[in-house]
Copies of this chain bind each other. A is one copy, B any other.
Amino acid sequence: MNASTSERLLDAAEFLFAERGFDATAVREITRRANANLASVNYHFGSKNELLDAVFKRRLDPINQERIFELQRLVHEYQPDIPPLESLLRTFLAPPFRVLQQMGADGAAFLRLLMRVHLETNSEFTLRFRAQFEQILSRFVPLFQQALPHLNTSLLNQRLFFAIGSMSHAVTWILNAQVLAKQHADPHSVLEELITFTAAGLRAPIAFGGNIHEA
């Protein structure tokens, strides 16, 4: 509560956008939750839309910087060999889980918001976000390719895509488990199981040799 108004607004917006969605959240609710005045959102951020941008920027920049830094460290550690597949996967998949552990409720709210974005197809905002993610992914692909020489590019991308899906579902699951308080899901152990699962999936021998259809 000692945080600055704009920080409190960011926290409140993050929580409410994640909880109810962007459209369903009224600026009035945000300011009420932040103990701030109705006009403060427009004063500090210009508009409700720009507030959303700010919410993302605050969390995403550090996460992606960390992912790139860790990747460089890993490559350096194993030089001139390729890092093991499991280590690459851990570096790639870990950040959201780390957010979950380190940032507690705030991190959970942000991640739920993040998961929402994956579904939007049209908004300009989503396109900006996705371009950024693909930039990160492109740094990892060459290393995965070296670690998995039996896969051609298109199959590798497809399987990586499956792995990303497992990750985002796992994160969503942990979030819901926390919300519903049904069971305690430990992010760290889920991450390790996820690595086991996806590593096996990526290593699977080629069954159909590409994208050949039946019938």
A residues lining the B interface (CB < 8 Å): 19-21, 23-24, 112, 115-116, 118-119, 121-122, 155, 158-159, 161-170, 172-173, 175-176, 179-180, 186, 188-190, 192-194, 196-204, 206-208, 211-215
Partner pick for A180 among B121, B189, B197, B203, CB 8 A cutoff: B121
Kindly provide the distance from the CB of A161 to the nearest chain B CB, expressed in whole angstroms: 6
Q: Is the CB of B208 within 8 A of A189?
A: yes
Q: Is the CB of A158 within 8 A of B193?
A: yes
Partner pick for A161 among B159, B173, B175, CB 8 A cutoff: B173
| Cβ–Cβ < 8 Å partners of A203 in chain B | 200
| Cβ–Cβ < 8 Å partners of A121 in chain B | 19, 112, 175-176, 179-180
| Cβ–Cβ < 8 Å partners of A179 in chain B | 121-122
Partner pick for A165 among B169, B176, B180, CB 8 A cutoff: B169
Kindly provide the distance from the CB of A202 to the nearest chain B CB, expressed in whole angstroms: 8
| Cβ–Cβ < 8 Å partners of A172 in chain B | 118-119, 165
Given contacts A165-B166, A192-B207, A197-B204, 4 further A-B contacts (CB under 8 A): A118-B172, A162-B166, A162-B193, A165-B173
Q: Is the CB of B170 within 8 A of A165?
A: yes
> How far, in whole Å, are A109 and B190 apart by their CA atoms in the complex?
32
Partner pick for A197 among B162, B168, B211, CB 8 A cutoff: B162
| Cβ–Cβ < 8 Å partners of A115 in chain B | 119
> How far, in whole Å, are A200 and B196 apart by their CA atoms in the complex?
10
| Cβ–Cβ < 8 Å partners of A170 in chain B | 161-162, 165
User: From A117, which residue of chain B is reached at the shortest CB distance?
Assistant: B119
| Cβ–Cβ < 8 Å partners of A208 in chain B | 189, 192-193, 196
Partner pick for A164 among B169, B188, B198, B204, CB 8 A cutoff: B169
Residue among A119, A167, A190, A214 facing the most chain B CB atoms (10 A cut-off): A119
| Cβ–Cβ < 8 Å partners of A198 in chain B | 162, 201
Kindly provide the distance from the CB of A103 to the nearest chain B CB, expressed in whole angstroms: 18
| Cβ–Cβ < 8 Å partners of A159 in chain B | 193, 197
